[in-house]
C-alpha cells in the first residue's frame, strides 16, 4: 500500500537549545537583567510552553505561588528584608546558646564580682581595654546586652507572630462568614466593624492591661496576645470579606453547594483557601505593627513584665540611663527598628508579588 511506502515521521528529539521565537529579537550578549522589559520574558515563556506543548512535551505550568516567588526575588528591597528577617530570627533562636558556649554568659547572668556590676561600653573589658566579650556592652547590673537583646527578640517576635495568628483566626472567620452569608447579616456584621474601627482601641487596651495586670510574666504575656490579637483583626476581616464577595458566585462554589457540602465547610474548605494571597500579605504587614504596639505598651509599663524582656522593655530600661550609657537604648532600639524595617519591606514586596492589582506602583 501507498501508506507503507512512506516513512513514519520520526518523533522530534527534545530541543536543547532555545530557538529564537519568531517576532522577537534575541537579547544582545551582555545585556543586563534590569534592561529586560517586565512582560517580555513572561510572554516568551508562554509561547515557548505553547510550542513545547505542540511538540508533545509535558509542560510544567507556572503556579500562582511560583510566579509570585519569582516576582518577589526580583524585588531587591524585599529580598533584603527577607534575608534580614531570616538572620534575626535564627540569631534570636540560636544566639543565646552560642553566647553561652563562647563566653559562658546567659541573658540574666549577673557577675558575682561586685566590681563588675556596672554598665560597660561595647567592645570594652572592665579595665577599659578592647574585648570581644560584650559586643553591645553591659547594663547596670553587668548583664550582657547582646544576650538580652537576642532573648528579648524571641519574646518580641513571639508576640508579633502569635498575636497576628490570633487576629488572623478572628479576622478570617469573621470576614468570610459575613461575606458568604451576605444580606442583612453581612450588613450588621460590617457595621459593627465600622463602629469598632472608630474606637480608640489602644486606649481600651491600656485600660484592660492595667486593670487585669497579671502577677506572673507568663500570664501578662498571654493577656498581651489576646489583647493585641483581638484589636488588630478589623482590617483583615474587611479584606477577606471583599475577597469572599467576589468568590462566592463562582462555579466551584455552586458545584460544592450542589453536591451538598455544608455551609461552614464551603466557607472554610473551598472559599478561604482562595483568599490566601491577600491574607498572607496583610498578615506580614500586621506583624511589625503588632510588635510596635507591644513595644509601645512595654514602654508605658503595661507590656511584657520582668523577668521576661522584649525589645520594647529593654529599650525602655535604656531610656533611664541615656545620658550616661546610651548603648543601653541604642542596641535594642536599633535591632527592633531594623527588624520592623525589614518586615515592612518584605510585606510591601509580597503585596507587589502576590497582588499586582493592589500594587502602588
Partner 1 sequence: MPLFILRRLLITIPTILVVITITWGLIRLAPGNFYTGEKRLPEAIEQNIREKYGLDKPWYEQYRRTMWSIVRHLDFGTSLKYEGQSVNTIIARSLPVSATVGILAYLLALIVGIVVGSIAALKQNSKWDYASMALAMLGISVPNFVLGPILVLIFSLTLYWLPPSRWNGFPSWNLVLPVLTLSGIYMAYIARLTRAGMLEVLRSDYIRTARAKGLSERDVVVKHALRGGLMPVVSFTGPALAFLLTGTVVVERIFALPGLGNYFIQASLNRDEPLIIGIVAFIAITLLLMNLLVDIAYAYLDPRVRY
Task: Give me the residues that bind partner 1 (CB under 8 A), please.
Answer: 195, 198-204, 206-208, 210-212, 288, 292, 295-296, 299-302, 312, 315-316, 319, 322-323, 326, 329-330, 333, 336-338, 340-341, 344-345, 360-361
**142 or 333, CB closer to partner 1?**
333
Q: What is the dihedral of CA 35, 69, 80, 32, to 10 degrees?
A: -20
Q: Write the DSSP string, 79-92.
A: HHHHHHHHHHHHHH
Question: Least separation, in Å, of the C-beta of 285 and partner 1?
Answer: 11
The neighbour count for residue 254, using CB atoms within 10 Å, is 11
Give me the phi and psi of 213, to 5 degrees please. -55, 125
Query: 352-357: long-range contacts (C-beta < 8 A, 24 or more apart)?
Result: 352/71, 352/72, 352/75, 352/78, 353/68, 353/69, 353/71, 353/72, 353/75, 353/78, 354/64, 354/68, 354/277, 354/278, 354/280, 354/281, 355/277, 355/278, 355/281
**220 or 275, CB closer to partner 1?**
220
Distance CA 158, CA 165 (A): 10
Question: Least separation, in Å, of the C-beta of 75 and partner 1?
Answer: 13
**64 or 300, CB closer to partner 1?**
300
C-alpha cell at 188: 450588621
**275 or 310, CB closer to partner 1?**
310
**243 or 289, CB closer to partner 1?**
289
Question: Least separation, in Å, of the C-beta of 57 and partner 1?
Answer: 39
Question: Least separation, in Å, of the C-beta of 66 and partner 1?
Answer: 27
For cell 573589658, name the residue. Answer: 125
C-alpha cell at 68: 509570585
Question: Least separation, in Å, of the C-beta of 138 and partner 1?
Answer: 19
Q: What is the dihedral of CA 261, 267, 271, 275, to 10 degrees?
A: -170
**222 or 322, CB closer to partner 1?**
322
**266 or 343, CB closer to partner 1?**
343
Question: Least separation, in Å, of the C-beta of 137 and partner 1?
Answer: 16
Task: List the helix and strand counts (H, then E) for the chain.
Answer: 14, 0
Distance CA 180, CA 248 (A): 6
Question: Least separation, in Å, of the C-beta of 320 and partner 1?
Answer: 10
Amino acid at each position: 500500500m501507498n501508506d507503507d511506502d512512506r516513512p513514519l515521521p520520526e518523533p522530534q528529539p527534545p530541543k536543547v537549545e532555545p530557538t529564537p521565537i519568531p517576532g522577537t529579537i534575541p537579547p544582545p550578549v551582555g545585556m543586563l537583567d534590569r534592561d529586560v522589559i517586565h512582560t517580555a520574558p513572561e510572554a516568551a515563556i508562554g509561547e515557548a510552553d505553547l510550542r513545547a506543548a505542540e511538540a508533545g512535551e509535558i509542560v510544567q505550568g507556572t503556579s500562582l505561588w511560583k510566579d509570585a516567588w519569582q516576582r518577589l526575588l526580583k524585588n531587591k528591597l524585599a529580598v533584603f528584608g527577607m534575608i534580614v528577617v531570616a538572620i534575626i530570627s535564627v540569631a534570636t533562636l540560636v544566639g543565646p546558646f552560642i553566647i553561652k558556649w563562647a563566653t559562658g554568659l546567659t541573658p540574666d547572668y549577673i557577675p558575682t564580682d561586685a566590681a563588675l556590676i556596672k554598665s560597660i561600653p561595647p567592645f570594652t573589658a572592665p579595665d577599659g581595654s578592647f574585648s570581644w566579650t560584650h559586643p553591645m556592652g553591659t547594663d547596670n547590673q553587668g548583664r550582657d546586652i547582646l544576650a538580652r537583646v537576642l532573648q528579648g527578640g524571641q519574646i518580641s517576635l513571639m508576640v508579633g507572630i502569635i498575636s497576628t495568628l490570633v487576629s488572623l483566626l478572628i479576622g478570617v472567620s469573621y470576614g468570610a462568614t459575613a461575606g458568604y452569608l451576605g444580606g442583612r447579616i453581612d450588613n450588621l456584621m460590617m457595621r459593627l466593624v465600622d463602629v469598632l474601627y472608630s474606637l480608640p482601641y489602644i486606649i481600651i487596651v491600656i485600660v484592660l492591661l492595667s486593670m487585669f495586670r497579671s502577677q506572673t510574666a507568663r500570664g501578662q504575656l498571654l493577656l498581651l496576645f489576646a489583647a493585641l490579637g483581638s484589636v488588630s483583626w478589623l482590617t483583615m476581616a474587611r479584606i477577606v470579606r471583599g475577597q469572599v464577595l467576589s468568590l462566592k458566585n463562582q462555579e466551584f462554589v455552586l458545584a460544592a453547594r450542589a453536591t451538598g457540602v455544608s455551609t461552614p465547610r464551603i466557607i472554610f474548605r473551598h472559599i478561604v483557601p482562595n483568599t490566601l494571597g491577600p491574607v498572607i500579605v496583610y498578615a506580614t504587614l500586621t506583624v511589625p505593627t503588632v510588635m510596635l504596639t507591644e513595644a509601645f505598651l512595654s514602654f508605658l509599663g503595661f507590656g511584657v513584665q520582668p523577668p521576661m524582656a522584649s525589645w520594647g522593655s529593654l529599650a525602655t530600661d535604656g531610656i533611664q540611663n541615656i545620658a550616661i550609657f546610651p548603648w543601653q537604648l541604642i542596641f535594642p532600639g536599633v535591632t527592633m527598628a531594623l527588624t520592623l524595617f525589614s518586615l515592612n519591606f518584605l510585606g510591601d514586596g509580597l503585596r507587589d508579588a502576590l497582588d499586582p492589582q493592589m500594587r502602588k506602583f
